[in-house]
Structures are given as structure tokens and as C-alpha cells.
């Protein structure tokens, strides 16, 4: 059994309290132990602020990007090893594991490439010079400078690689040291990544707390940042913490989301646009066993297409083989933990009180799994009336979605989407530009990202659940109200935007000699 140490103050350390056991969610076999009790986390944070922060601020943007590139290569070079850990500890199929691990290394590589173009400056320039006086001599500029604290990255259980990378890439490029707090239940991948990456960075730049560390956030203060991914309930607790309020700790949240797929009235069964929608829905329901913040939970379909879509989804979802990810032919593994299994099962029961179950009641036994073992749930498809409240209020974090009849009027369809209270992503399938324009007008205020699927891009479209580093990731309302990635926009969370005002030749000289 592996021992997962924390990495604080440039050293590997292990706690002295009760140990938490990580298991294989398909077989319930113990894999590793973690403990953070009794660690001097405060000293580790201060070491990161002083040592790591100073080292990063001394680097140019290009050099910080080179560090991101080195981390990306380390992850990619040990890809097979990390995939094995993802399959053992996360219940991931090999394809699911690739989605997480390749997404992580790809995101770090993307930011490395961005930084290469920024050169040897240490500050990121925001916008052009602004004339403030009668002549250009009196001018102003905006710059992003590194914050002097530490960035605490609180990651969810479902993406131990990608979740780390999307936060770390922006923080490191901004010049801010990081302390990763991975979800303990699936920490095997994150821990191994840190073992690979810690020697590549200056002391204090990379730190990690592995195991329960409830006191961590209470040790933060002015200048520090929390980048949180997880439930809206936990996010609400973070927002209420006195240290977050009184010390103005900057907090970014990515939380719950009842993402939707909407088929336009022009879509014909069997068309390229239709097939794209079916492919996306099936993938988003089953990839990572539906444990994705971007997974499709609501499917809005015109009455004319409802019967055909129902048949096609049931047929294709029923063909997905559920079982041990290491067994041949398995297309979907278990959920990540016993608690997740209980939560998803309870959510299915709650939705079933207001919707008709089309698939999932008679699921076969998982393939390659000992009887009674594993945290498995069936792929479940419901059909409900658009007025069913729970469909718009309850996110079941597993392979579960509900079909609804979409109104003819796109404005009314957008109102249904808005009942979700704010989402990360909505996918819209149509070739009717006028209808799409009306949908965008109604849907955009309630989503962080809109994906438009149409015939001309059906052969190259990226699934709506794929978070692209070039575009913002986040959403309003219940989705957390935060923003990550988006190219250089993602750096803003970890930097201070400062306006410089003065003599233009002096400003130009100062900013040219960082």
C-alpha cells in the first residue's frame, strides 16, 4: 500500500493522526493511505510565500512558461503510469483517464506556448497606452503584477490531473506559488504528478497537502487566492469564512451546473447535426461516469424529434458496457467513492418521483467485478415534463440526464434553461442562424460558455464537456460565478491589475526594462 505524503517547505512530510484510505472503486481494494494531521501547514504556506513567490517574481514570463512546459512534459512522459493510477483509483476507463491526463498536460503546454510569445517581461501589459493630458507625454498604462501571497488550489475528485493543471498554469504564469489540496479519495494521480513535478521547480513554488486539512483556508490572508472546484454547498461555506471576508482573500469558484443540450426545430433525424447531438449527449452522460461539471444533465428536444431521439439514446446508452475499467470491452466504470454512489442513487430516486425512467432500472451486473463489490450506478435516462421542478434544481453527479420537450419559441426555451440557476456550458444544435441568434440572446446571460453544433463543423466539433484553455471556464449563479482559463484572461485571478500614470517616455522605459 502506498503512503501519500504532503509536500511542504520543500520537503515530503506525513501526518501523525488518523489515516484516510484510498480504494479502487471497482473492487474496493485498498490502494494508499494519506494523513495531513499535525503538519505545520502555516510554516509551509509562509515558505511558499517567501521562497516560492520571490523565485517566481524574479522569473520572466517566458521563464515561467518554460516551467509550465517542463511540468507538461513530465506528465506526458509518465502518461501510461498515470493512466494506470487513474483506472485504479478513479474508476476511469483508459479513455476517461486520457481525457483527464492529456487535458492536464495539454493545458500546461498551451500556457507554455503563450508565455514564449510574451518574452522577457515580468509583468503582463493590459491594453494600449492611454493619453491623459493635452499631449501624449502624460499617459497611462495598465499592468498585471504578481500578487505576493500563495494560491491554494482546492481540486475536486473527478479531475486530479486536469483540475490541477488548469489552475496551476495560470497561477505560475502570473508569478504566484501554489499549494494544491487534491480531493483525498482520488489523490493517487495528483500525488504522483507532484512527485514528478516538484524537483522541476524552485523551492516553495509547488506545495501540496494530501489528506484532510480543514484548517488550511483559515491560515490565509491578504494577498492569497483560493481557486476552488467542488460543490456549491462547500463554496458557500468558504465564502462565509471570517478569514475570506475580513482579510479579503480572493476566491474563485467553479461549482454545480445543470448543463443542457438543445436541439433546434430545424434539425432532422439522421442529419449530420442530429448525429452530432446524439454523439455528444451519449459521451457527456457516460464519460468519467457522468462525474463532470460540464456533463449534460438536461436534453431539450422539439416534439417532432422526441420519439426518434428517445429511441436512439436508449439504444446507444444501453450498449455501453459497465464494469471494471481493466476488463476488456468496458465503456464506463464506477463512480469514485461509496459516498458518490449513495448520492447518485438518492438523486436518481428523487428525479424518479417527477419523471419517467426510460433506462437504468434493469441494468446488468458490472462486468469483471466480484459480486457485491464496487461503487457502480446504471446509466439512467429520464423523460419529464418541462415543468418538473427537480429536473431544473437537482444535479445528479453521475450518468444521469432528463429529456424535456422544448417549446417552439426560443425565448421560452431560454427561460427553461434559466431555471437551472446558471450553468457552465450549454450546447445548441441547429443550422438555422436566425433561431440560433434568438437562442443566444436568451441563453448567454445564464451560461459561461455556449457551444453551437451545426452541419458544417460536425466532423471536427469538440464535445461540449471539453474545457479548452483558449476559452473561459466558469459560469454564473449556481455554477459559482467564477472564471478560469480563457488564455491570458486566466492570469487575472492571480495578479493585481495596476494603473500606471505618468510621463510616457518613463512608462515606456520602465515597462521595457522589467
Cell numbers describing residue 117: 510569445
Catalytically annotated residue among 35, 197, 210, 293: 293
pLDDT above 70 for 435: yes
**Rounded mean pLDDT, 399-423:** 95
Environment class of 362 (CB within 10 Å of its CB; exposed 0-12, middle 13-18, buried 19+): exposed
Pairwise CA distance, residues 294 & 491, whole Å: 22
Cell numbers describing residue 18: 488518523
Each residue's pLDDT tens digit, 172-224: 999 999 999 999 999 999 999 999 999 999 999 999 999 987 788 889 999 99
- Give the residue from 152, 458, 471 showing the smallest Cα distance to 294: 471
**Which DSSP state fits 483?**
-
Cell numbers describing residue 408: 417552439
- Give the residue from 105, 104, 87, 88 showing the smallest Cα distance to 96: 87
Each residue's pLDDT tens digit, 78-91: 999 999 999 999 99
Each residue's pLDDT tens digit, 487-501: 999 999 999 999 999
**Rounded mean pLDDT, 453-469:** 93
- Give the residue from 231, 178, 183, 249 showing the smallest Cα distance to 240: 249
Cell numbers describing residue 22: 484510498
In which band, very low, low, confident or very high, does the pLDDT at 423 lie, cut at 50, 70 and 90? very high
275 in active site: no
In which band, very low, low, confident or very high, does the pLDDT at 98 lie, cut at 50, 70 and 90? very high
pLDDT for 513: 58
pLDDT for 1: 85
Environment class of 372 (CB within 10 Å of its CB; exposed 0-12, middle 13-18, buried 19+): exposed
Catalytically annotated residue among 166, 254, 284, 395: 254
State the average pLDDT for the chain. 94
DSSP letters along 335-400, please? Answer: -SSHHHHHHHHHHHHHHHTTSEEEESTTPPPPBT--TT-S-----EEEE--TT-HHHHH----SSE
**Rounded mean pLDDT, 117-145:** 91
* CA dihedral over 159, 163, 164, 169, signed as positive or negative: positive
Which residue is listed with cell 473492487?
A: 27
pLDDT above 90 for 242: no
pLDDT for 246: 84
**Rounded mean pLDDT, 349-368:** 91
Q: Which domains does the chain have, with CATH numbers?
A: 41-255+482-512 (3.40.605.10), 259-469 (3.40.309.10)
Which residue is listed with cell 450546447?
A: 427
- Identify the weakest region by mean pLDDT among 96-100, 353-357, 368-372: 368-372
In which band, very low, low, confident or very high, does the pLDDT at 469 lie, cut at 50, 70 and 90? very high
Strands (E) in 384-422, as ranges, are 400-405
**Rounded mean pLDDT, 219-233:** 91
Contact 282, 317 (CB under 8 A): yes
Contact 139, 130 (CB under 8 A): yes
pLDDT above 90 for 355: yes
In which band, very low, low, confident or very high, does the pLDDT at 364 lie, cut at 50, 70 and 90? confident
In which band, very low, low, confident or very high, does the pLDDT at 97 lie, cut at 50, 70 and 90? very high
254 in active site: yes
Q: How many CA atoms lie within 13 A of 359 on its CB side?
A: 22
- Give the residue from 135, 171, 129, 141 showing the smallest Cα distance to 153: 171
pLDDT for 138: 93
pLDDT for 510: 87
Each residue's pLDDT tens digit, 7-16: 999 999 999 9
pLDDT above 90 for 363: no
pLDDT above 60 for 51: yes
- Could you write out the three-class secondary structure of 257-281? CCEEEEECCCCCCCCHHHHHHHHHH
Each residue's pLDDT tens digit, 140-163: 999 999 999 999 999 999 999 999
pLDDT above 80 for 514: no
pLDDT for 141: 93
Amino acid at each position: 500500500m502506498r503512503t501519500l505524503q504532503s509536500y511542504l517547505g520543500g520537503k515530503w512530510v506525513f501526518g501523525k493522526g488518523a489515516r484516510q484510505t484510498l480504494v479502487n472503486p471497482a473492487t474496493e481494494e485498498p490502494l494508499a493511505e494519506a494523513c495531513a494531521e499535525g503538519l505545520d501547514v502555516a510554516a509551509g504556506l509562509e515558505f511558499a510565500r517567501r521562497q516560492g513567490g520571490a523565485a517566481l517574481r524574479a522569473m520572466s514570463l517566458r521563464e515561467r512558461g518554460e516551467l509550465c512546459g517542463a511540468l507538461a512534459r513530465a506528465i506526458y512522459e509518465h502518461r501510461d503510469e498515470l493512466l494506470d493510477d487513474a483506472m485504479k483509483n478513479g474508476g476511469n476507463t483508459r479513455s476517461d483517464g486520457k481525457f483527464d491526463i492529456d487535458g492536464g498536460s495539454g493545458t500546461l503546454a498551451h500556457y507554455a506556448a503563450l508565455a514564449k510569445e510574451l518574452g522577457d517581461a515580468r509583468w503582463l501589459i493590459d491594453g494600449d497606452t492611454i493619453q491623459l493630458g493635452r499631449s501624449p507625454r502624460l499617459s497611462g498604462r495598465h499592468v498585471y503584477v504578481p500578487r505576493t501571497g500563495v494560491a491554494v488550489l482546492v481540486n475536486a475528485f473527478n479531475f486530479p490531473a486536469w483540475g490541477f493543471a488548469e489552475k496551476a498554469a495560470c497561477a505560475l504564469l502570473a508569478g504566484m506559488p501554489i499549494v494544491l489540496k487534491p480531493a483525498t479519495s482520488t489523490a493517487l494521480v495528483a500525488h504522483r504528478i507532484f512527485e514528478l513535478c516538484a524537483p522541476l521547480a524552485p523551492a516553495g513554488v509547488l506545495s501540496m497537502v494530501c489528506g484532510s486539512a480543514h484548517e488550511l483556508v483559515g491560515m490565509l490572508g491578504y494577498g492569497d487566492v483560493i481557486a476552488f472546484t467542488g460543490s456549491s454547498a462547500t463554496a458557500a461555506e468558504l465564502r462565509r469564512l471570517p478569514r475570506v471576508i475580513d482579510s479579503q482573500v480572493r476566491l474563485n469558484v467553479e461549482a454545480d451546473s445543470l448543463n443542457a443540450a438543445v436541439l433546434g426545430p430545424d434539425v432532422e433525424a439522421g442529419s449530420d447535426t442530429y448525429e452530432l447531438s446524439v454523439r455528444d449527449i451519449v459521451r457527456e452522460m457516460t464519460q468519467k461516469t457522468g462525474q463532470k461539471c460540464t456533463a449534460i444533465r438536461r436534453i431539450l428536444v422539439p416534439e417532432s424529434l422526441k420519439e426518434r431521439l428517445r429511441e436512439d439514446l436508449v439504444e446507444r446508452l444501453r450498449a455501453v458496457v459497465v464494469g471494471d475499467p481493466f476488463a476488456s470491452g468496458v465503456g464506463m466504470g464506477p463512480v469514485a467513492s461509496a459516498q458518490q454512489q449513495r448520492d447518485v442513487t438518492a438523486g436518481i430516486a428523487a428525479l424518479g418521483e417527477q419523471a419517467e425512467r426510460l433506462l437504468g432500472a434493469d441494468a446488468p451486473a458490472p462486468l469483471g467485478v466480484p459480486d457485491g463489490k464496487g461503487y457502480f450506478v446504471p446509466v439512467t435516462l429520464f423523460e419529464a415534463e418541462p415543468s418538473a421542478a427537480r429536473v431544473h434544481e437537482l444535479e445528479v453527479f453521475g450518468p444521469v440526464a432528463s429529456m424535456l420537450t422544448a417549446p417552439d419559441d426560443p425565448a421560452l426555451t431560454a427561460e427553461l434553461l434559466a431555471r437551472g440557476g446558471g450553468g457552465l456550458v450549454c450546447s445548441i444544435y441547429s443550422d438555422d442562424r436566425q433561431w440560433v441568434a434568438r437562442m443566444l440572446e436568451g441563453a448567454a446571460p445564464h451560461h459561461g460558455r455556449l457551444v453551437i453544433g451545426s452541419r458544417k463543423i460536425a466532423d471536427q466539433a469538440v464535445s461540449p464537456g471539453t474545457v479548452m484553455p483558449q476559452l473561459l471556464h466558469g459560469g454564473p449563479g449556481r455554477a459559482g460565478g467564477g472564471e478560469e482559463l480563457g488564455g491570458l484572461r486566466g492570469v487575472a485571478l492571480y495578479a493585481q491589475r495596476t494603473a500606471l500614470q505618468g510621463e510616457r517616455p518613463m512608462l515606456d522605459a520602465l515597462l521595457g526594462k522589467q
